[in-house]
Amino acid sequence: KCELDGLAALVTGGASGIGLATARLLAGRGARVAVLDLDPKAVNEPLAGYFADVSDDTSVRTAVERAAADLGGLDILVNNAGIGAAGTVEDNPDDQWHRVLDVNVLGIVRTTRAALPHLRRSAHASVVNTCSIAATAGLPQRALYSASKGAVLSLTLAMAADHIGEGIRVNCVNPGTVDTPWIGRLLGAADDPRAERAALEARQPHGRLVTAEEVAAAIAYLASPTASSVTGTALAVDGGMAGL
Ligand code: NAD
C-alpha cells in the first residue's frame, strides 16, 4: 500500500520544474493527481493536465471544478505556480508589480478559494504553498519577487490559523536556488551561461543547486497524513542558504 493511496491532489504550475517533480512524486506515492497550468499539454499520464491561468478567477474556478469532479474530490492542494522579477524598487513599473502579485499571491488566494469546499470534505486535507527563501533572506535585485513571496509566507500562516479548526493544514516550502527550467532561462540569458552557472553553484552553501525532486519531497511530506500535526510552518530546502 502506498502512503497517498485514495487521496486526490491538485498542483498548480505542475507542468514544469518543482511543480512537475511534485506531481510525479505524489502520483508515485499513490495519489490521483491533476495539474493546473498555462501549458497542460506538457503533462503526461498518469498526471491529468488542465488549463488554468491563476491570474484569472473564472479560469481557476472552471479548472478546479473539472479536476475535482474527475478525481472524485480533493485532499491535497499545492499552490506552486509563480513568476519571477528582477530589480530594485526603481526598476519595476507598477504594472509589473500588479502582474507578479496577481500571479504569485492572488493566484494562491483564487485557487485555495475554489478548492476549499472540496478540501472540507476530506479527512486528510492539506495545502502547501511554494514560497521562497526570498521571503526572508533580503536578496539584492529582487524587491518585487521578495515582496510577493513575503506575502505568500504571511498568507500561509494566516490560512493555517483560519482553517485548522476545520481540519485543513496549511504549510509552505522555502526553496533556495533550484535547478529548474526557470533557472535555465535566467542562465541562458547570461553572456557565459556555463561560467554563470558555476558562480551560482559556488554561492550555494552546499556547493550545488537544489534539485526539484528535493523540494518535491518536502512538499510531499507536508502534504501527507504523516505530517498531521504540522501546520503554519515554512520548511526551507536551500542547502543552508537562509540560515547562514
Ligand atoms: P518553472 O518556470 O519551471 O515552472 C513554473 C510553472 O508555472 C510553469 O509550468 C508555468 O507554465 C506555470 N505558470 C506560470 N504562470 C502561471 C499562471 N499564471 N497560471 C498557471 N500556471 C502558471 O518554475 P519553478 O522554478 O519550478 O518554480 C515553481 C515555483 O517555485 C514558483 O512559485 C517559484 O517562485 C518557486 N521557487 C523557485 C525557485 C527556483 O530557484 N527555481 C526558488 C524558490 C522558489
175 lines ligand 1 (CB under 6 A): yes
DSSP letter string, 38-75: S-GGG--TTSEEEE--TT-HHHHHHHHHHHHHHHTS-S
Nearest to 55 by CA among 34, 32, 83: 83
CA 59 to chain CA centroid, nearest Å: 18
Structure pTM?
0.98
Question: Which ligand 1 atom sits closest to the C-alpha of 183?
Answer: 41
Closest by Cα among 74, 233, 79 to 164 = 233
The tens digit of pLDDT for each residue in 150-188 reads 999 999 999 999 999 999 999 999 999 999 999 999 999
User: Does ligand 1 come within 6 angstroms of the Cβ of 224?
Assistant: no
Which residue has cell 485557487?
Answer: 111
Give the pLDDT score at 93: 97
User: Could you say which residues of the chain have pLDDT below 50?
Assistant: none
Contacts of 8 (CB under 8 A, 6+ apart): 31, 32, 33, 34, 68, 71, 72, 73, 74, 75, 76
Picking from 5, 144, 26, 154, the residue whose alpha carbon sits closest to that of residue 87 is 144
Dig out the grid coordinates for 218 from the structure: 518536502
Residue 145 known to be catalytic: yes
Is the confidence metric ipTM above 0.90 for this complex? yes
Cα(79)–Cα(159) distance, rounded to whole angstroms? 13
Q: What is the pLDDT of residue 244?
A: 62
Topology (CATH level 3) of domain 8-177+211-236: Rossmann fold (3.40.50)
Question: In a 3-state reduction of DSSP, which class is residue 209?
Answer: coil
User: Pocket of ligand 1, candidates 20, 24, 37, 201: which has the most ligand atoms within 8 Å of its Cβ, to mutate?
Assistant: 37
Q: Largest Cα–Cα distance of the chain, in whole Å? A: 54
pLDDT, residue 243, reads 79
Q: Output the pLDDT for position 241.
A: 92
In whole angstroms, what is the distance from residue 29 CA to residue 24 CA? 9
Residue ranges covered by each domain of the chain: 8-177+211-236
172, HSE (Cβ side, Cα atoms, 13 Å): 25
Q: Ligand 1 centre and the CA of 3: distance in Å?
A: 26
Judge if the beta carbon of residue 80 lies within 6 A of ligand 1. Answer: yes
**Mutate which of 43, 47, 100, 182 to test ligand 1's pocket (most atoms within 8 Å of Cβ)?**
182
